[in-house]
Amino acid sequence: MRKVVLMLLSGIVLLACKKQEVNIIPVPMQVVQEKGNFNINKSTRILIDTDDSVAFKVATYFQNLLKSKGLILELDKVVNFPDLKNAIYFTKKGFVDSLGVEGYMLTVNTGNITICANSGSGYFYAVQTLRQLMPMGFESANANYSRLSVPCVRIIDKPTFGWRGLNLDCCRHFMSKDFVKRYIDLLAYHKMNILHWHLTEDQGWRIEIKKYPKLTEVGAWRQLADGTEYGGYYTQDDIREIVAYAAERYVNIVPEIEMPGHSVAALASYPQLSCTGEPLKVETNWGVFKDIYCAGNEFTFTFLQDVLTEVADLFPFPYIHIGGDEAPKYRWENCPKCRARLKSQKLKNYEELQQYFISRIAKFLETKGRRIIGWDEILEGGRPHNATVQAWRGMDRVDSAVFAGAPVIVSPTSHCYFDYPVDVIDLRKVYSFNPIPDGISVQQKKLILGGECNMWTEHAPQKTVDSKLFPRMLALSEVLWSYPKVRSYDKFLERVRRHYGRLSNMGVNYGFEQSAVKVNSQLSADAKSITVSIERGQENLEIFYTIDGAEPITKSIKYKKPFVLKESATVKAVAFLNNSRVGEVFTREFVLSKSTGKNVKLGFAPATKYMGGGLQALVDGRKGTEAYNDGIWQAVQGSDMVATVDLGKSQPISTVSVGFLQSNPSWIFIPKQVDFFTSVGGTDFTLVGTVLSPVKAEDEGLIRHDFTLNVKGINCRYVRMVACSIGNCPDWHPAAGSPSWLFAEEISIY
């Protein structure tokens, strides 16, 4: 009995001594936690120096924040060295200049709090840090405190990158004004400072332009299959309100007005803007469309300049994004006006015509004191006038931009596309993001402004956006703000898990850290077996799997440890939480054949984005899923695919097979045919058969097809496949004339 009392007592002592948690995301540059707490209560005063107007602004924001949580504090202006007893003091005195514009020092003692910065943003970020030092419940909508305990700390902090953004696509799905404001708060809370607001698209024009009312009367609405009109737009008053809201939170808004492509909603509103002038409907499908603004028509420039004049009046930030991505040149090539422009401007090709188009817009915007940003395609005809580049297709595009001398915003599909499922980009992957490519000079590094995550919303209506952006945005905010030199994902993950309570209290419906089921595999050194291990997306999930292709249920094998496959098999796995299924069944086909683990030599350069796991991916024993970006498919754009497998020694073979994918909205087509060749010595190859595709380019949906040839009786050491691309996207295709893709997986030889 006495022992129990003692244990209880020591528990109380332990509790009393336990330091209040400090867990700030993004992690500050320097944090020293000290003993004790400061208690904010009703008599705590907020103090600012008399002449510090930016401190007044942020201190008022802070005062209102506390008021919304039940604590009404006085805000006083003071001179010289005020009495700091029970005070929260915003001051520039003692600021270390090397902390820069956004840096701050935050000191919490038992008697007071000092917030030291020399700019509004510095003060503001100190307040965000202070907010994360408050009890978890502070973020609840119905929080009502009469006292708030803050742990004693000394924090010195500043960001590494000045550009820390989110690109929110409010076109594919319209997002309400309040939702956009909520995201401004969420960005600010995580010290992100850019909302790149994607406002015009094929599927909807979302910004009121007084001079061209049809842009929103017609262009803001698309017709769903059931005939209903779907869409919405922001009035200029809405926009002014949002811009002011963002400014108060030190978030700059970069509006994106897409040109020359992704503009069908504008062309549907004013058909005279297109090359054909024919009526169009606001797009209801996702993809890239060949109808773009006519570059030969002067009205296009008059229109865009009028639009951008109103845009520049609404958005004070010096940058305006003009898109510039995914603009097929098919219409221009076939348009007399565009051809005449090409000639009159003495341009060599249609990429140069795009450069002319964008430079003309950039020069116009310069007269309004604005600079343009464009997606990395804008470099294809030469860097447009004074353009900043947003690199998206890969880190190699960052290299191209800095070599062209352009400032860059880094947001590659490999790490920053948060519309992609966590199966493709998980939290760990985002946390490993490095916006600075290897091998660039110190001077070139200075051109890297920072990064953004992209939230494209083709498959993400407003209600699903939280689960795509969180928790991944926590990782991005830490990469861009803190840029930790040593990154321990496991430690970061622990901190993320401690942060979830705050997100929940803010009503953030965050998603998974990684796919509910993640199947990993390792081919044995002799390539005779594959060891499969399965990771769970969250700690409390149970995984069940099958290896015979059957749907897994809770009666299937419960995953406990890695298992070994000695022959080809289809592994299906699914997660359960408290006996309820979570997410989709994950399927991976493994093949063990004569070619598995042998050497393959590629006669093409796989796209860096779609390497399939490396140069040996076509013989690694793993077959792709229906997701082209699943990391298994290996791809090339605009060429055939040639690959030669070396079996190591001559031997009889009976079947050869290779898999391809078609997803024509993504410009991916099954090859017209695959030719198979064999050789004994590796120099002279004999054609042993051609397999024609049964799939037509027009065939819709996700189609996987294995090209298989019976080669019984052949003895060889080398097998070569040549897959013949269909060439450019066909005339009927929305991206007509653009080079198509081939996506291949496993070459199996039996």
Per CB under 6 A, 375 contacts ligand ACM: yes
Among 392, 481, 628, 677, binds ligand ACM (CB under 6 A): 392
Per CB under 6 A, 326 contacts ligand ACM: yes
Let me know if 33 is exposed, middle or buried by CB neighbors in 10 A (0-12, 13-18, 19+).
middle
Binding mask 247-286 for Zn ion (x = CB under 5 A): ----------------------------x-----------
List the structure tokens of 221: 């609405």
Residue with the CB atom nearest ligand ACM in the bound state: 325
Q: Distance between CA 21 and CA 132 in Å, rounded? A: 10
Per CB under 5 A, 294 contacts Zn ion: yes
Closest distance to ligand ACM from the beta carbon of 392 (Å): 4
Given the structure tokens 């699914």, which residue do they identify? Answer: 574
- Which H/E stretch holds residue 297? none
**CB of 212 or CB of 375, closer to ligand ACM:** 375
294 binds, among Zn ion, ligand ACM, none (CB under 5 to 8 A by kind): Zn ion
Q: Distance between CA 687 and CA 685 in Å, rounded? A: 7
Q: Distance between CA 670 and CA 707 in Å, rounded? A: 10
Pairing of strands 194-198, 163-169: parallel
- Which H/E stretch holds residue 360? helix 350-366
Closest distance to ligand ACM from the beta carbon of 255 (Å): 15
Per CB under 6 A, 380 contacts ligand ACM: no
392 binds, among ligand ACM, Zn ion, none (CB under 5 to 8 A by kind): ligand ACM
Q: Which stretch binds Zn ion (CB under 5 A): 120-128, 292-300, 396-404, 553-561?
A: 292-300
Closest distance to ligand ACM from the beta carbon of 324 (Å): 9
**CB of 66 or CB of 338, closer to Zn ion:** 338
Given the structure tokens 């795009």, which residue do they identify? Answer: 354
Closest distance to ligand ACM from the beta carbon of 133 (Å): 37
523 binds, among Zn ion, ligand ACM, none (CB under 5 to 8 A by kind): none
Per CB under 5 A, 296 contacts Zn ion: yes
Q: Distance between CA 55 and CA 48 in Å, rounded? A: 6
**Residue 9 dihedral angles phi and psi, to the nearest 5°:** -60, -45
Q: What is the largest CA-CA distance in the chain?
A: 98
**CB of 290 or CB of 623, closer to Zn ion:** 290
- Which H/E stretch holds residue 450? strand 448-455
Among 241, 248, 306, 325, binds ligand ACM (CB under 6 A): 325
Residue numbers 516-575 binding Zn ion by CB under 5 A: none
325 binds, among ligand ACM, Zn ion, none (CB under 5 to 8 A by kind): ligand ACM
User: In angstroms, what CA-CA distances link 397 with 64, 69, 211, 476?
Assistant: 44, 46, 37, 19
**CB of 258 or CB of 745, closer to ligand ACM:** 258
306 binds, among Zn ion, ligand ACM, none (CB under 5 to 8 A by kind): none
**CB of 293 or CB of 512, closer to Zn ion:** 293
Per CB under 5 A, 337 contacts Zn ion: yes
580-590, strands of its sheet edge to edge? 557-558, 542-546, 569-577, 580-590
**CB of 337 or CB of 601, closer to Zn ion:** 337
Residues in CB range of 669: below 8 A, 6 or more apart: 662, 697, 725, 726, 729, 740, 741, 742
CA proximity to 489, closest of 535, 525, 443: 535
Q: Helix or strand or coil: residue 135? A: coil
List interacting residues with Zn ion (CB under 5 A).
275, 294, 296, 335, 337-338
List interacting residues with ligand ACM (CB under 6 A).
325-326, 375, 392
